[in-house]
Structure 1
Amino acid sequence: MGCCVGEKHNNWCEEYGIVYIDAEGKEYCIFHAPADCKFVKFYDERKGGEKPALMDAEQFNGMVFERIDAVIEAGVDEERDKFDFSNWNPRCNFSGTIFPYSISFNEYDGQNDKYLPPINFISSQFSGDADFRSSQFSKNAYFISSQFSGDADFSSSQFSGDADFRSSQFSKNAYFISSQFSGDADFSSSQFSGDADFRSSQFSKNAYFISSQFSGDADFRSSQFSKNAYFISSQFSGDADFRSSQFSKNAYFISSQFSGDADFRSSQFSGDADFRSSQFSKNAYFISSQFSGDADFSSSQFSGDADFRSSQFSKNAYFISSQFSGDADFRSSQFSKNAYFISSQFSGDADFRSSQFSGDADFRSSQFSKNADFNNAEIQKQAKFTDVKFVKSSFDQMEFKGPVYFDNSIFEKEASFRNAIFHEYSNFEQTKFNNSVSFRHALFKEWSYFRNVEFNGETSFAGAISKETIVVENVDLSNFYFAETNIESFKFTECTWPRKENGRRTIADEISPRESSKGLSFTKLEEIYRRLKKVARENNDEMQASTWHYNEKEMLRKKMREENGPGIIEKLGTKTCELLPCNIEIAKTKLSKLIETSEQKRTPFLRFINTTYWIVSGYGEEPLRAGIWLLILIFGAMILACFGPDSNPPSDFITKWMWYMPLIKVNLSADGLHYLLKGLSVTLITLQAALFGFALRNKLRR
């Protein structure tokens, strides 16, 4: 019949006799017999009896070497050794062989014409160590579905043809240190139970590790992949070390799993690097790596820290829908083309300090759960942060050289844009700043839009400069502080301003307690209101101009009172109030608000004029108040009419009253005192009428 195993492998062993028949009647040659049944002479399990001695290691390995040497001595036979993918039967065929002992092939190192011819180890079992160090495989070497129970050492081996280790099992350590693969190297679906060491190996053609499993550490340091490298769906249970590796073509790590640390420091990817849907359970190191082609980490998961410091991305970098559970470090990285971080999630700190984006930087719909640090970074083209959620973020000294989009983004905690430079259009429409935000000393070279923005924390543009206009539209400015702000750069449209208890519109700087760090002196507040008035007039917003004019004068009045104390009028009013039959404290409070006056080094006359101007017309902004005072003066002249002047014949009361009115000529004889009172009445009524007309004009114009 022949060997039952050899029948499955082209009966390459038919020239060897049967040495063992099992209880079921299956026959085995010396190469395919089980390890414990490789007898020195024939034995039939069915007949029983004493079993012969087992063939020792020297005898069995000698038969292997004898078969190899015979092929070498016979010379090249390309027709016989021609590769047939479906049914390859070279002269040096060991498919299905069980190697019961450790065996060394390192004598076939190419010296003295000692080399391994085209060889087939498909489905072979190496029970001991397999030593192929420095071996030279002149053609194809097939180890498909082979099992290595001991260490497998292929260090410094040279594979001139294809090396096929598909579905092989390495129960202990596998060494391929400094090995050279001139043809395709295929380790797809292989299992490495121990460490897999491929340090300094060279893969001249494609390298396949598809669905391979590395239970121990996988070491590919300084390896060179001249063609494509396929690690699709591979599993690295231990550490995966690819430091200083070179991938000359495309590298595919799609859906790979790295349970230990993944170290690609200083690696070079000359083609595309595809890590889509990969999982990094621990730390991933890509420090100083170079990606000359596209780098795609879309949908990848980084459970530990992801370190891309000083990495270079020469083409597009894709991190779409990636998840960073630990810290993500991209400090000093360079993105020469577009960088896509769309819908990415950063659960730890995200560090992009000093990074350079030569193309677009797209972070739309991303989430930063901790610190997002872009200090000193630079984006040459569009910066897209639309619909992004930040917790704490910093963009200090960052340069946005293209358009900037932060629309619909949310900043939960502090946000800082100190000394940032916006070279092009910037859009913050419908952005929410739920905590403080600072644009201190920022530079806006083009238009900036803050439409429907929510400033829920302290907001400062102190020292910010804009060559164009910063449009603030439909925004609640209750937390917007104007101290040291270049107000002339702003345009406020349909904004909601904070109000004081009396309903007067104001700014957050005035509401803050003056003894606090944010409190300002009345002098600075006066200046802010003066500049706000200027901006409002330039924008033809007369209503706002009226408000800021009133507040400007109000700050002047309060400053004068603070520096010199209450004036004579206020003191007199307070004394009068104490004699009135009313709620004295309320009356004193109202009166003190009404007539606080005086300014340092100013004359009592100027203090009196300033106070009077406020009382009788609200600084020319309240026609109702001016009108009431005008009526008081007109009807107050009735009191003077009751006391003269007398006339002959006696005139009626109305005539006497009209005598004290301006622009009305009434002939009455009067003495000097009455002419003095008439002059005073005419002057006061005329001045008040002018103030009323001025206030009414301002009201109607606005």
Structure 2
Amino acid sequence: MTHSSPERRYSYGCGRPGCCGTPVAGHSDCLAHLESADRARYLASLHPGADIDHRGTTLGRALVDELLGAVRDPESRRPVLGHARFEEAVFPDGAFFHEAEFSSEAHFRAARFPRFAGFRRTRFAGPADFTDACFEDESSFVQARFEGQTLFYGARFHGEAEFLSARFHDVAWMGGARFGTVQFDSAGFDGDADFNRVRFDGETSFTSAEFGGRATFSGARFECGVSFGWAHFAATPVLGPLVSRQTLSLRNAVFDGPVVIEAAASGLDCGRTRWASTATLRLRHADLDLTDAVCEYPVTVAARATPFAAGPHPLPEDGLSGDPGVRLVSVNGVDAAHLMLHDIDLSACRFAGAVHLDQLRVDGWCTFAVPPTATRRPWSPRKVLAEEHHWRARAGRTPGRRRGWTKAPDGTPGLRPAAIAALYRQLRKSLEDGRNEPDAADFYYGEMEMRRHDASRMMSERALVTSYWALSGYGLRAARALIWLLAAMTGTLLAMMLWGLPADDPKPLTKGRQVAVGQDMALVTETPDPVNPAGPVAGRLTTERFEKAVRVVINSVVFRSSGQELTTAGTYTEMASRITEPVLLGLAVLAVRNRVKR
């Protein structure tokens, strides 16, 4: 990070040419240019709690030490300053205000610290103003206490800044500041914390920070990511909108009240985050991890289509991926009963370990994974879970069968087909409750696939399920059922033409005798048994026999008898076709219905 040092805005009247320092009372020169005797008399006149005014003065390390020594309390051994004015002062050799106490206002507006600036365990009893201050080297406010309003508006931190365990009892205004690497770990903000339009160029950490008031980060930009791990937000209604080029971590953070989180980030880690009230996550570009998150009230995760704006201009998103979509990577350990997803990419999401998945609400344009191109129907790929990808990539017997399936990330436990079937079953119910019947049908297909491959089930059950898959794709593949139906009808047609239809239609034969006495007549009509066709096969494939066979087949499909005289072989063929072909037709109709119903 590069910044230019601020130029002096004012001259405070030092009598030396080129010096902007404030003259010491009763003298024409500033403290840096006083004669030794005059400086000694001035320092001797100071006492603990004295007001000092050294605006614009260049204060070397030795001079700062002498000044603090002059106001040191003999009992507490701490330097105690009253109303301290260091606006536009320059501390070329560093400033060590460790354990100092500012009992009134402390003004460091536009002050410049070319070397280390130390305020460890410093107490600011009144307002502390560091507006436009420039810290060119490392700075430390470890365990500092800010009891009045704190202003770091427009401040510049070139080196690493530490606010570890610092306490801000009143409002902390950081708006427009720019930090390199900064740590606010275990810092406490009792009042509002304003980080609007702040730019963080280095690693940033708010680990275990406590935000008692509103924490605002509107327009904030994190170049190297930020961690709010274990942070506590007591009353933050809106966090953001902000931009993070790397991961924004809310791991183990706690939100006591309703909150809206708006962020464009490469990743959002919400592992073990606890929302004690309603929450809405509006995101862009992010890979979201919700592992073990606690949702006590409804939590909505939604992808935002347009860039966020802080003021009249949209926030810049350079450095982030071109795709603004949001990808959910895990809900392991989440009670999904309070979770709603809107326009989220779920193709890589691991659902294993979540509870109440049947109550998960999936809304808008949410996408799931699909099988590899080599194994799917290109015109209608089914939706699959990432867990099935991982299982097939692991379980394929040959490299060819594993090709294209996504391997599980390192450290991800492998699931058995029975466990994946349970995931499909729960998510299918969730989609059915949302009236998404086509995608629910895909999840039924996935469930049945896992049942078919489940080695713990009985062989008879697996054989039955395999037959169901082969005949109609579990009642979801109309084309497969129609192909089998056409094959069965073709087989029946050929069987009828070759063996089922008799050589000639039997003609009834009437026999009897006439008895003269009483003019009685007895007649008997008999139909000869059908004669099996004989002769060459080509001679049986005639147009007439084809027309008769077609009638038999069509009537069989609708479970009717054609009334056609058949041979013994034809009779049994018709009986078989009247059972199988209506079933295949029914499976095809069922598959079509499952795809078009709403």
Contact 1:338/1:360 (8 A) holds in 2: yes
Q: Equivalents in 2 of 1:602, 1:493: separation in Å?
A: 41
* Correspondence for 1:508: 386
Match of 1:410, SS state, is strand
Q: Say which is worse superposed, 463-472 or 541-550, in terms of deviation.
A: 463-472
Match of 2:241, SS state, is coil
Residue type at the aligned position of 2:292: H
Deviation string for 1:341-400 (max 9, x for gaps)? 122222232221111001121223223233522211111122513132242443221112
Contact 1:221/1:241 (8 A) holds in 2: no
* Correspondence for 1:684: 580
Check if 1:602 corresponds to 2:459.
Answer: yes
Q: Equivalents in 2 of 1:375, 1:408: separation in Å?
A: 16
Contact 1:178/1:199 (8 A) holds in 2: no
Q: Equivalents in 2 of 1:491, 1:259: separation in Å?
A: 55
Q: Equivalents in 1 of 2:159, 2:58: separation in Å?
A: 25
Deviation string for 1:458-500 (max 9, x for gaps)? 8222112245232231x33333333334433341432233322
How far 1:224 moved relative to its partner? 2.6
Contact 2:58/2:91 (8 A) holds in 1: no
Check if 1:380 corresponds to 2:276.
Answer: no
Check if 1:352 corresponds to 2:233.
Answer: no
How far 1:678 moved relative to its partner? 2.7
Select which of 453, 457, 470 maps to 2:340. Answer: 470
Q: Equivalents in 2 of 1:279, 1:440: separation in Å?
A: 41
Q: Equivalents in 1 of 2:584, 2:198: separation in Å?
A: 68
* Correspondence for 2:506: 648
Structure of larger gyration radius: 1
Match of 1:514, SS state, is helix
Contact 1:368/1:390 (8 A) holds in 2: yes
Contact 1:262/1:280 (8 A) holds in 2: yes
* Correspondence for 1:424: 277
Trace 1:115-264 onto structure 2 (pairs within 5 A): 142-145=26-29, 148-150=34-36, 154=40, 175-176=43-44, 179=47, 185-188=52-55, 190=57, 192=59, 195-196=63-64, 197-199=66-68, 201=70, 222-226=78-82, 228-264=83-119
How far 1:610 moved relative to its partner? 1.9
Trace 1:608-627 onto structure 2 (pairs within 5 A): 608-627=463-482
Select which of 432, 436, 444 maps to 1:549. Answer: 444
Q: Equivalents in 2 of 1:517, 1:665: separation in Å?
A: 56
How far 1:231 moved relative to its partner? 1.4
Q: 1:629 to 1:199 in 2, by over 3 A?
A: same
Residue type at the aligned position of 1:223: P
Contact 1:235/1:256 (8 A) holds in 2: yes
* Correspondence for 1:529: 424
Check if 1:639 corresponds to 2:494.
Answer: yes
TM-score (norm 1): 0.62
Q: Equivalents in 2 of 1:201, 1:509: separation in Å?
A: 71
Residue type at the aligned position of 1:514: R
Q: Equivalents in 2 of 1:511, 1:655: separation in Å?
A: 51
Q: Equivalents in 2 of 1:696, 1:141: separation in Å?
A: 95
Q: Equivalents in 1 of 2:387, 2:280: separation in Å?
A: 26
Q: 1:688 to 1:176 in 2, by over 3 A?
A: farther
* Correspondence for 2:518: none
Match of 1:143, SS state, is coil
Residue type at the aligned position of 2:394: R
* Correspondence for 2:289: 438
Deviation string for 1:180-217 (max 9, x for gaps)? 576x644445555652312365599xxxxxxxxxxxxx
* Correspondence for 2:353: 484
* Correspondence for 2:513: none
Match of 1:387, SS state, is strand
Task: Tell me the matched-pair count.
Answer: 485
Match of 2:298, SS state, is coil
Kindly report the root-mean-square deviation, in angstroms, between the aligned alpha carbons of the 2 structures. 3.4
TM-score (norm 2): 0.72
Deviation string for 1:520-575 (max 9, x for gaps)? 44333322222221111011101111121122222333x15xx4xxxxxxxxxxxx
Check if 1:460 corresponds to 2:330.
Answer: yes
Where does structure 2 lack aligned partners over 5 or more consecutive residues? 1-13, 17-23, 306-323, 396-406, 508-529, 532-543
Structure with higher RCO (Cα < 8 A, 6+ apart): 2
Where does structure 1 lack aligned partners over 5 or more consecutive residues? 1-121, 125-139, 158-164, 166-174, 205-219, 564-598
* Correspondence for 2:303: 451
